[in-house]
Amino acid sequence: MSEHANNHDDHGHHHKETFVTKYIFSQDHKMISKQYLITGLFMGIIGIAMSLLFRLQLAWPDHQFTIYEIFLGKWGENGVMDPNVYLSLVTIHGTIMVFFVLTAGLSGTFSNLLIPLQIGARDMASGFLNMISYWLFFLSSVIMVLSLFVEAGPAAAGWTIYPPLSALPQAMPGSGAGMTLWLVSMAIFIASSLLGSLNYIVTVLNLRTKGMSMTRLPLTIWCFFLTAIIGVVSFPVLLSAALMLIMDRSFGTSFFLSDIYIAGEVLHNQGGSPVLFEHLFWFLGHPEVYIVILPAMGLVSEIMATNARKPIFGYRAMIASVLAIAFLSTIVWGHHMFITGMNPFLGSVFTFTTLLIAIPSAVKAFNWITTLWKGNLKMNPAMLFSIGFVSTFISGGLTGIILGDSALDINVHDTMFVVAHFHLVMGISALYGFFAGVYHWFPIMFEGRLLNKKLGYIHFWITAIGAYGVFFPMHFIGMAGLPRRYYTNTNFPYFDDLLEVNVVISVFAFITAAGQLFFLYNFIHSMFYGKMASKNPWDSTTLEWTAEVKHIHGNWDGPIPEVHRWSYDYSKLNKDNSDYVLPGQDYVPQHIPLQDNEDELMH
Amino acid sequence: MTAFLIILVIILFGVAIWQMNKVFQLSKSPKSENSEIASDNDNNTQGYLMLAFVFFIYGNLAYCFWEWGDVMLPVSASEHGIQIDQLMLTTMILIFIVGIFTQWLLHYFAFVYRGSKEKKALFYAENHRLEFIWTIIPVIVLAALIIYGLFTWSDIMYVDEDEDPMVVELYAYQFDWRARYAGNDNTLGEANVRLIEGVNQLGVDISDPNAQDDKVVNELHLPLGRKVLFKMRSQDVLHSAYMPHFRAQMNCVPGMITQFAFTPSMTTNDMRMNDEVIEKVEYINQIRTEKNIELLAKGEEVLEMYEFDYLLLCNKICGSNHFNMQMKIVVDTEEDYNTWLAEQATIAETIKNK
């Protein structure tokens, strides 16, 4: 199969490339990866900016801010935020961050960049579908951004868009044209995600270079591969839910609607159930959080091994736990629905499966920690973010034991406690994985340039302190019984003492957001003026560092390297323990054949 | 004040990083390479910062507890709530032990094994015994938690009809609540949104004999020590009946009837006498007094002083006024409750009087 790829691409890079085929409708996975990255970053800026606006509202509900008038126009008149637009902000913030930044921006960027390069392929199985996948993503991003400018306001029913609220324009203004655009945008997004995922799966299965067995794959590839499979299994279910919702909204069907009296009249709908929608939504929605976190786990595993100068501890256990997580992720969705009126027996089943998922997660955390043990840690910014990832993954994951327990969920469900939990475990952790990836693979993306490390350190420490500063206190207001998605708490004197906590959270949020400017500056500056690195700046074993620094279509100028070992031969000693396998070099790249003075391990 | 302290901490931390950076810069030999790849000096600085960071995590946690430990919900006012709190405490203790321990290992290793040119890493790829240990320990601990949790869950969710619970309907609509008492027969009359008309706001079927003695009110009163079975309905969109002080919550779903049952174990007056609540209310009133001084200065209306009451809040996003969809809950002694209930008009009376 690799021969096929060979032949295919040998004539591939003789074509003359124009500006359009190189930068816009590119079929080269490296360029598509950068397109995903930059679109994702752009959406991320919008998403974070929105969170700052509603943090301002939550911390100082009585104040008038002209900034609302500037950004929200008629919904911020006299500096007072409209309650509907508050709900729109949280809705679109959630949608953008989960789907557009952490799914497309993270998985799209790094799956595209690393799958061909790390498995030794000249490109994706289908460059054309890959291009279509990006442009569908771009289109859905454009529609989502356009929906912000709709007359009645963008979608505002929460990122989970539970009907009937999302189905009835009478229920809230955001459920009019804004929701239509939201659904259209997501339908296109799902098509994009499916095309991308199928491509990743086929590429990993078929285009591995000679010698690259599944048990020699870097963990990054394992994670991207399983992420793609989860995506293919669960995204279509969201598509069907979205289609049924579109029909309920526009064609008078009753999939999710029944017995409704709103705005002074009874609706004709009969026999549908909003709980059905919740099942369909979370059948995707829960795997979705693993679609977000698995790629980050893969990136972190790879970066940690490289920078610790040690093999990842328990490579096979890591694969087994990712497999277990991927499988379990599809049968735990009901833990979002313990108190929706679902049969309590189902609640018991979902509690059981949910707490099971803690086992592979714990194995992974312990394996990462053991990877650090007796290492020779190179504290590059990517490594700091990887360590930060494990820290927030543990902190956020542990509170999941509370939420996954149906009896405990009764009282913290839909409170700020949940918000704190999932931001730490999937939001912040996945972002750390994303940043780690960008710092580590920047030279691969931008032809040998490195990001500035000092700015990277500043960026990491502000983010690390800020993230815990925002989300630790948030658990407390949740346990005080404060619901999420409240525009203000001033209508409940009982919550008056929580205002000062909200102020602290908001201050930390602003500082953390400001810290991201260091990254943004670093990113843009280094893209053009970054220091040039050597070909393999981090002394890494994987194949991407053997590819040409200057981007060419086909990645390797000569033949594709063959693989003779797994990707974690860091600090391996020779037979008599006198020196490393390759004298004076503490790593053996994957394409180096087995040496005479070396013990063969099982890889 | 707290905000100021935080800013101060951050600034000091920033200054510390900056100063350490300067020290290391000065200690560097002038010939050392200026590259974007971590040098031994960087490893050293960042290793120490990692160690500092784990103390920041502990400090942050301690600060939150010390400063805001009192905002959390007071003792449970329902019988099953005690069980939930117990389970919560067990889980919390476990989480804290695991969290503190693993965070320490992670950051301490990052500090101790910070790299340098002289050091060598240990090629250590697998250890089946270790992996077995840290698979089996979570398995056992989680199995115990699951079993404990599921027993609690079943106790709460499966309502024993033999106990003859008092049936009350909670009715949600944008953006308020109504409660319907089942009356002397303890059976709610049939209802459907299609029957909503005039004063019959809940769409009760007035031809149903069971409906005649039903009573609709906008303040929920509950007798102490009697099991209450709530039947939830929604008129328009999803709502969630959240009663945090009773550790009770259930969504209200249009088109179906959901239920939740609990036994109130403390009257409103008992709860007002609770030390934690007294302290909390005092603090809230102190905040309100301070605010009132500002409001008076601006010539605006002042806030009322706060007195504790149980709450029913909407906890599922339901529209623009979601943040203000609430109902007062009063738990009375049996006699007070009966007196109150006797004063409320039945549906039959309300419709006749119209």
**What does the H/E/C string look like for A497-510?**
HHHHHHHHHHHHHH
- Binary contact (B242, A483; C-beta < 8 A): yes
ipTM of the complex: 0.93
The reply to whether residue A378 touches residue B192, judged by beta carbons under 8 angstroms, is no
Per residue in A558-592, pLDDT (tens digit) is 999 999 999 999 999 988 888 898 988 999 999 99
Q: Is the pLDDT at A62 greater than 60, yes or no? A: yes
Q: What is the mean pLDDT of residues A354-361?
A: 92
Average pLDDT over residues A283-309: 95
Is the CB of A323 inside 8 Å of chain B's CB atoms?
no
Say whether A310 and B194 touch across the interface (CB within 8 A): no
Q: Are strands B215-217 and B176-181 parallel, antiparallel or unpaired?
A: antiparallel
Q: Is the pLDDT of residue B78 over 50?
A: yes
Range in A287-296, B71-80, B160-169 the model is least confident about = B160-169
Residues of A whose CB is below 8 A from B254: 164, 257-260, 274
**Is the pLDDT score of B34 beyond 80?**
no
Contact A200, A228 (CB under 8 A): yes
Selecting from B124, B250, B255 the residue whose C-beta is nearest the C-beta of A374 gives B124
For chain A, percent of residues with pLDDT exceeding 90:
90
Query: How many angstroms away from the CA of B267 is the closest CA of chain A?
Result: 17
Strand duo B166-173 + B228-234: pairing: parallel
Phi, psi of A458 (to 5 degrees): -60, -45
| In chain A, residues 98-157 whose CB comes closer than 8 Å to chain B | 157
Q: Per residue in A154-207, pLDDT tens? A: 999 999 999 999 999 999 999 999 999 999 999 999 999 999 999 999 999 999
Q: In this prediction, what percent of chain B has a pLDDT beyond 90?
A: 80
CB B193 within 8 A of CB B171: no
Report which of residues B285 and B352 the model is more confident about. Answer: B285
Task: Flag whether pLDDT at A269 surpasses 60.
Answer: yes
Q: Which of B10, B99, B314 sits opposite A465 (nearest CB)?
A: B10
pLDDT for residue A43 = 96
* Residue B298 C-alpha, separation from nearest chain A C-alpha, in angstroms: 13
pLDDT of B28 reads 54
In which order are the strands placed within the sheet that holds B326-332?
A: B220-223, B326-332, B310-314, B239-243, B248-252
| Residues in chain A within 8 Å Cβ distance of B35 | 531
Please list every residue in chain A whose beta carbon sits closer than 8 Å to the beta carbon of residue B174: 171, 262
Domain ranges of chain B: 7-25+39-115, 165-270+305-353
CATH of domain A30-259+272-546: 1.20.210.10
Distance in Å, alpha carbon of A187 to nearest chain B alpha carbon: 23
| Average pLDDT value for residue range B54-64 | 95
Min distance A38 CA to chain B CA atoms (Å): 23
Helix axes A358-372, A344-356, angle to 10 degrees: 20
pLDDT of residue B237: 95
Higher-confidence residue: A224 or B32? A224
Which chain B residues have a beta carbon less than 8 Å from that of A266? Answer: 193-194, 196
Residue in B21, B126, B194 nearest the CB of A314: B126
How much is the pLDDT for B1?
58
Q: Could you report how far apart the first and last alpha carbons of chain B are, in Å? A: 57
Mean pLDDT of B10-33: 65
Could you tell me the pTM of the whole model? Answer: 0.93
Q: Per-residue pLDDT averaged across A437-443, rounded?
A: 96
For residues B231 and B170, the answer to whether their CB atoms sit within 8 Å is yes
pLDDT band at B15 (very low <50, low <70, confident <90, very high): confident
Residues of A in contact with B309 (CB under 8 A): 494
Beta strands across the sheet bearing B228-234:
B215-217, B176-181, B166-173, B228-234, B258-262
pLDDT, tens only, A123-154: 999 999 999 999 999 999 999 999 999 999 99
Residue A465 to residue B37, Cβ atoms within 8 A: no
Nearest CA distance, B291 vs chain A (angstrom): 11
Q: Is the pLDDT of residue A45 over 90?
A: yes
Express each pLDDT in A363-386 by its tens digit. 999 999 999 999 999 999 999 999
Say yes or no: domain B165-270+305-353 is CATH 2.60.40.420.
yes
Q: Is the model's pLDDT at B24 over the cut of 80? A: no
DSSP string for A428-490: IHHHHHHHHHHHHHHHHHTTTB---HHHHHHHHHHHHHHHHHHHHHHHHHHHTTPBSS-S-ST
Q: Is A497 on the interface with B (CB under 8 A)?
A: yes
Domain boundaries, chain A: 30-259+272-546
- What is the overall mean pLDDT for chain B? 91
Percent of chain A with pLDDT over 70: 97
Per-residue confidence (pLDDT) for residue A15, from 0 to 100: 60
